[in-house]
Structure 1
Amino acid sequence: MASSEVKDIECGPEQRHEKPPFEDDNLKEDPPSVEVDPFGAEETAEVKYKTLAWWQCGILMIAETVSVGVLSLPATLATIGLIPALILIVGLGLVSTYSGYVIGQFRQRYPFVHSMADAGFILMGPIGRAVIEVAQLLFFLFACGSHILTFTVMMNTLTDHGTCSIVFGVVGLILCLIFSLPRTMKNVSWLGFISFLSVFIAVVTTMVAVGVERPDYGDMMLTRKTSFTNGFSAVTNIVFAYCGHPGFFGFIAEMKEPKDFPKSLCMLQAFEIVLYTVASAVIYRYAGQNVASPALGSAGPVMRKVAYGLAIPTIVIAGVVLGHVAIKNVYVRMLRGTDMMHRRDWRSTGIWIGLGTVFWIVAWIIASAIPVFSNLLGLVSALFVSWFSFGLPGIFWLYMYWGEYFKSPMKIILTLANLGLVVHGIMICALGLWVSGVAIHNDDASGSFSCANNAI
């Protein structure tokens, strides 16, 4: 047999996935033909992007994910009961860990991918890129809007509604814009560390406060009968707590060693699953059936202000990390393959600041238009997190292993698991949109662009 024929057999599709997916050899498969490295060679660049260590990436992922979501979970337990909610928190956490790992596999196979939009191009060409590009930008806008909304709740709590809530929202907008100005993830990662400490200390303080004060908000219930609308709205709030996946490609693209991403992912998932489970159970146990959402409002008048004061960094910085990823996606899309991306001149800097300004203004408009915290989280989960955290990772796996679904018993199991991810995403999207729409329609707590106190 000729040597070329032997080489063809050795590199055939049946050999492609036998090695662990994060080994460097896997990068030799399916080389990109229509795209380039999002940042290119950086040896002599003024601005270098690929500088994150795995633990810095993990800190950023925690800062991005663990903030607004954890504040809604105790109210979720009050809606559907302690036992069902804890099962969902742990179960969805494990599922989101696997789906995040699949995203890492996909990025190792296609190392030029910088965002979900790039992955959409691989799956469905220009149409896939356009659809997912719009979807990911809308997700980040809504998610950042929820952080501005939380900022207004925090300021109303600290100042006893010292001024119009719209003014507080503008202050939050300005702060988020200022902290979004650094262009590299490494510079933002130091803010992420502050956010990490902030959310942990604030949640622990709230747990201690409600444990000592034991507010009389009604007894805890192990299980609870509720309407389908309220029950599934609670599920979408848990889904939102695991909403970090849209930023994973961007984080990996700025790592020194992208193959270390599983370490960062495990760091994130271990922290959030444990924190979500313990914090939500303890706060619900002592705050009772009428626990507030955000949960920091469940402490007494003094400790509520202390907890919100401690949470200021995470409320702002978690939104900043999300916003940075969104702005970077657009920035890379505009300047990919040019030297401008790596320059510090007025044009490059001006484009970055301009994109950030427009982004945060739109996020503020969304926050002011949908001023109900839990309903906003449910809507975002249904529209976007259902796909980015569950549906699309399943499609990524099915695309990578096309034609090998029944190659071995393990492949059959993984095929069924990833089909399950896709079905899971479709169900959350369809049902979540319906129940969120009903909840927003029926909630008359406050109107759009209102000066009212949304901390009540």
Structure 2
Amino acid sequence: MSQPLYHSDEEKKVQPGVSAYDTDGASSIDTITALVVEDSQHDIKLRTMSWQKAAWLLCGDQVCLAIMAQTWSLSVLGWVPGIITMVGAGILFWITSMTMHKFIMKYPQIRDICDFGYYAFGKSRIAYEFSGFMLLANNILLIGFHVLTGAKILNTLSDHSQCTVVFSVIVMLMGIIMSVTRTLRHVSFMCMFSAFFMALAILLFLVFAGIEDAPGYGYSGDYPTDGPVRTYAFPLPGTTWVGCMNAVLNITFLWVPQILFPTFISEMERPQDFPKSLAVLTAISAFLFICPPAIGFHYLGQYSTAPAFGSLGPKSYRKGSFAFVIVPTLVIGVIYANVSAKFIYFRIMGKSRHAHSNTVIGWGVWIGVMAFIWALAFIFAEVIPSMGDFLSLLGAAFDSFFGFIFFAVAYAHLYKGQYFAGAYRSFMTVIHVIVMVVGLFLLGPGLYAACEAIIADYAGSTSPAFSCANVSI
């Protein structure tokens, strides 16, 4: 397997005449220009995205089914802790993403989160390999979650007309076919449709929740087993610390997509324009991550499920809104598969001409890697008893690093010796100390809560691996 492209003593030879270690603004722009020029000489050009296309790609990744789990988070935490967690997560998302962009502008040769970890931790090869492992583990498990979600949608629409494994295979094959494209610029085109259909699903859910007489189902039983629908400011009596922690992890999971951002930035024509794309994403996310869940909690109260579609009463309402989620389910799986495949692909192909050319070997390896990733994700989807709890595990084990710890370390690297140079810098230093504390909290108590939930799942009744059981909502 080849070495990482930029991580050897020959690093400066990758871009003749350009020092990859220059840190001033002009040198960074020169490095970006050299990288774009080099890329333009390849058959398969990666650095082709405008900031508008990058914004679509970001929205396609973020406007997802996880939004519909936030209603459940509010039902666990209540209005006050829930909204505070959502707003706080959004603020930290913006700050850490901007820190990440500034760090990448200092080292514009960064291609993915693994390169980011390499430079943030003092050009450590251990940090690079550790980041690579976490990147693949996080992304492949997430793709598996989308395979399972796709099977759940097909089960719901067809009234379980086939074995669930059959539906999972169908979703996997569709994912492989849609993932064949090599550039994120082409994936961003799919994201326009993904965001539209997810927004349509959310809108239909809100309409149906508003016009139905009462919810149909909650985790405490069918309506009205748990009494009339009610909302509350704080967690209900009897709510466990593990339940609250998993609700918090559910929120932070939605607000922490930065594991993909370095790869997105590396395929932009002008990486310096990424803050424009980020601003579009943040504005849309702030609305979608708070308003629809709040409306859903108002109508569903303690009967909220994750996803909230499952709480709707009439079957036709559940089918009518949940059906449109199939598009973002597939497209978001494609995004994570593309980023994962590129990490493996370039480790295999290295600097050979096949890496960037339309050769039989190049395309054969790419398709083979992509098929392997989706097949592995399919296996995870079939053998894990509760993907919801494993998403909490991902949020604690991986998002603690890729959403918080990495960027606190990057900030320390960027402003070494200047942490308290003025009021603004002092304020941002304090904020990044908080970012580090939040990351360590998620990694410690958060990881414990996620593991406790998984243990509880295994202690109860679980479906056997590769089960044909009906998983429709």
TM-score for the superposition, normalised by structure 2: 0.87
CA distance in 2, matches of 1:335, 1:27: 32
Matches within 5 A, 1:50-199: 50-122=47-119, 123-124=121-122, 125-199=124-198
- Counterpart CA distance in 2 for 1:58 and 1:419 is 29
Query: Residues 419-434 of structure 1: matches in 2 within 5 Å?
Result: 419-434=433-448
- Residues 264 and 445 of structure 1, relative CA distance in 2, 3 Å threshold: farther
In structure 2, the residue matched to 1:263 is: 276
The answer to whether the Cα contact below 8 Å between 1:120 and 1:129 also exists between their aligned partners in 2 is yes
- Alignment check: 8 A CA contact 2:117 2:406 kept: no
- Written as runs of structure 1 = structure 2, the 5 A alignment for 1:151-300 is 151-216=150-215, 217=223, 218-225=229-236, 226-299=239-312, 300=314
Per the alignment, do residues 231 and 350 of structure 1 end up closer, same or farther by CA in structure 2, a change over 3 Å counting? same
- RMSD across aligned positions (CA): 2.2
Report the Cα offset of residue 30 of structure 1.
12
The AA in structure 1 aligned to 2:233 is L
The answer on whether the counterparts of 1:27 and 1:111 sit within 8 Å (CA) in structure 2 is: no
Contact 1:117–1:129 (8 Å) recurs in 2: yes
Structure 1 residues 39 and 372 mapped into 2: Cα distance closer, same or farther (>3 Å)? farther
Q: CA deviation at 1:92?
A: 0.3
> CA distance change for structure 1 residues 37 and 127 in 2, over 3 Å: closer, same or farther?
farther
Report the Cα offset of residue 45 of structure 1. Answer: 2.2
Indicate conservation of the 8 Å contact 1:27/1:108, yes or no.
Answer: no
Q: Which residue of 1 aligns with 2:462?
A: 446
CA offsets, 1:42-69, max 9 Å, x none? 3332211111111111111111122132
Tell me which residue corresponds to 1:403. Answer: 417
**How far apart, CA to CA, are the structure 1 residues paired with 2:91 and 2:290?**
13
Q: Deviations over 1:200-257 (max 9, x none)?
A: 1101110111111142443222322311000000000001111310010000011111
Match of 1:20 in 2: none
- Structure 1 CA distance, aligned partners of 2:444 and 2:36? 37
* Identical positions, percent: 27
**Residue equivalent to 1:366:** 380
String of CA shifts for 1:267-311, please: whole Å, max 9, x gaps: 111111211111101111112312221122222310111112111
- 3-state SS of the aligned residue for 1:241? helix
The verdict on how the C-alpha distance between 1:37 and 1:279 changes in structure 2, with shifts beyond 3 A counting, is farther
User: Residues 119 and 248 of structure 1: is their aligned pair in 2 closer, same or farther, counting only changes over 3 Å?
Assistant: same
Partner SS, residue 181 of structure 1: coil
1:41 to 38, 41, 58: 38
Is 1:383 aligned to residue 397 of structure 2?
yes
The whole-number CA distance in structure 1 between the counterparts of 2:346 and 2:130 is 17
1:30–1:109 CA contact under 8 A, matched in 2: no
State the alpha-carbon separation in 1 of the partners of residues 230 and 168 from structure 2.
35
The alignment partner of 2:302 has SS state of coil
8 Å contact 1:54–1:260 — kept in the other structure? yes
Give 1:362 shift: 1.2
Alignment of 1:310-389 (within 5 A): 310-389=324-403
Tell which deviates more after alignment, 81-90 or 185-194. Answer: 81-90
**Whole-Å Cα distance in 1 between the matches of residues 348 and 117 of structure 2?**
17
Cα distance in structure 2, aligned partners of 1:148 and 1:46? 32
* CA distance 1:38–1:139, shift in 2 (3 Å): farther
Q: Note closer, same or farther for the CA distance 1:45–1:84 as it changes in structure 2 (3 Å cut).
A: same
Unaligned runs of 5+ residues in structure 1 are 1-23
Q: Distance in 2 between matches of 1:40 and 1:445?
A: 58
- 1:337 is displaced (CA, Å) by 3.4
Distance 1:286 1:437 in 2: 31
Deviation (angstroms), 1:84: 1.7
Q: CA, structure 1 residues 46+305, in 2 after alignment: closer, same or farther (shift >3 Å)?
A: same
Q: TM-score, normalised by structure 1?
A: 0.90
AA aligned to 1:83 is: V
**Any idea what SS the aligned residue of 1:267 has?**
helix
CA contact (8 A) 2:24 2:106 kept: no
Whole-angstrom CA distance in 1 between matches of 2:57 and 2:391: 21
**Displacement of 1:37:** 7.7
Q: Alpha carbons of 1:246 and 1:208: their partners in 2 closer, same or farther (altered >3 Å)?
A: same
Aligned with 2:419: secondary structure?
coil
Q: Is the 8 A contact 2:63 2:199 kept in 1?
A: no
Matching residue's letter, 1:212: I
Are the aligned partners of 1:76 and 1:85 in contact in 2 as well (CA < 8 Å)?
yes
Once the two structures are overlaid, the 10-residue window that deviates more, 390-399 or 215-224, is: 215-224
2:148 partner letter: L
**1:308 correspondence with 2:322:** yes
Q: What one-letter code is carried by the residue in structure 1 that aligns with 2:91? A: L
Paired position in structure 2 for 1:435: 449
Gaps of 5+ in 2: 1-22, 216-222, 224-228
